[in-house]
Amino acid sequence: MVLSNRQVYICFWIFGLVNNVLYVVILSAAVDIVGPSLPKSLVLLLDILPAFVIKLVAPFFVHKLRYDHRILCLIVFSCLGMLLVSCGSLRVCLAGVALASLSSGFGEVTFLQLTHYYQEVSLNGWSSGTGGAGLFGSGIYMLFTSLLEIPVTVSLLSFSVLPLGFLLYYKLGVGQEEVSDSAVPFLNNDPEEINALTLAPPTGVSSVVKQNLLIDLRANMYDTCQKLKELIEPFMLPLTTVYLFEYMINQAVAPTLLFPLGQKHVPFFFRKYRDIYVTYGTLYQLGVFISRSTAHLVRMKRLYLLSSLQFLNLLLVMLQSWYYIVQSPWPIMFLVFYEGFLGGAAYVNTFLNILEEVENKKREFALGSVSIADSFGVLVAAFIGLRLEPFLCGHQIADGRPWCSME
């Protein structure tokens, strides 16, 4: 059955929502997972490092894995990860964060490559869905924990059933994207090599086949690195810097953008200082959702401009954290929303540019590989944040603003 464009859009929207929602929920819960005494970038680090690693190595092997097998792995890893995250033990919880991250990174590679076969409508659906994941995940988590005061463990556990949405993949009726199910990597499906390996004596593979395997392995790695090199300057570098700046804001600076509770300028739902952090996360995701959902209306091809604007946002919030210039949270809340809008715009426009500018035979590889860039930017931001947040918090305490150390 051939799906209509509307059906394809809906399927990929759901894929984007499910794949990213756990990542978002975990970041929203960072303050609850580690408490006020540990930097929130610790959660960010474990939430992005496995995803980055799988994205980094995926170009070398992912073309050998069938899409339906990938989907089953995503469901198992995601569900198990969230079950562990909902446990009370910090170590078990962090292990669950890492497992969910692994699934999220592998899912992004998988579904971005699938957009090669369904073109722009699927990419628009995926991008909007990932933006919706941010809004849905952070918004629901804020509703459960801040407004309804549902326990954190119960709130996190409720998200563990969402990965079953990946089963919609089997409604796509995919055919052309199925790759070789050869169990031997890097053979490039050469019949002579496969036959030689099949007919090899039980004692081992012949030296000729071993040599051919080594040659193919080296050739594949060299070719993959060359193709990655072509993507760095036009796509990967601007996307990396945008994500570096915005996640330095989100996980290192935003936890210190606090205000004394009970003032007339402070919203009524700021009952605790952690509520301010969770609200920032929701506003950020709202900006991401809007920009990722409207890229078909407003295209932005100057990716480095978005990177420069995001750097300006980082400077502004650093000044606010250090000097406490603005004494009302509303301008900061708007700035966080705008920061999310820029980040979402950079993401979706990067991949739309790939669809438009990269030749067809290289497009599937490019779509899956450029996703390394955003994870790398987030990873660097996590390492910086481990030092930056305590540094800013220490300055605020010395300046008579101890809110960052309070719940």
Q: What is the pLDDT of residues 51-70, one digit of tens each?
A: 999 998 888 788 788 888 89
Q: Which of 78, 158, 157, 156 is nearest to 110 (CA)?
A: 78
How far apart are the C-alpha atoms of 282 and 160, rounded to whole Å? Answer: 20
pLDDT digits (tens, 9 = 90+) for 105-135: 999 989 988 888 887 888 889 989 988 888 8
Give the residue with greater pLDDT, 261 vs 217: 261
pLDDT at 315 over 90: yes
Architecture of the domain made up of 5-178+230-405: Up-down Bundle (1.20)
Mean pLDDT (whole number) for 171-181? 52
Mean pLDDT for the chain overall: 83
Query: How far apart, in whole angstroms, are the C-alpha atoms of residue 354 and residue 227?
Result: 13
Pair 256, 262: CB distance under 8 Å: no
Q: What percent of the chain has pLDDT over 90?
A: 34
Tell whether the model's pLDDT for residue 176 goes beyond 70.
no
Model confidence over 252-273: pLDDT tens digits? 999 999 999 877 778 777 888 8
Say if residue 218's pLDDT is above 80. Answer: no
pTM: 0.75
**Residue in this structure with the two tokens 């969770």, named with its chain if needed:** 278
Q: Distance between CA atoms of 97 and 44, rounded to whole angstroms?
A: 9
What pLDDT is stored for residue 393 in this prediction? 93
Measured distance CA(276)–CA(267) in Å, rounded: 9
Report the C-alpha gap between 340 and 310 in whole angstroms.
9
Per-residue pLDDT averaged across 297-326, rounded? Answer: 93
Domains of the chain by residue range: 5-178+230-405
Task: Give the mean pLDDT of 223-241.
Answer: 91
Residue 190 is predicted with a pLDDT of 43
- Residue 182: predicted pLDDT: 33
At residue 369, the pLDDT reads: 85
CB 51 within 8 A of CB 102: yes
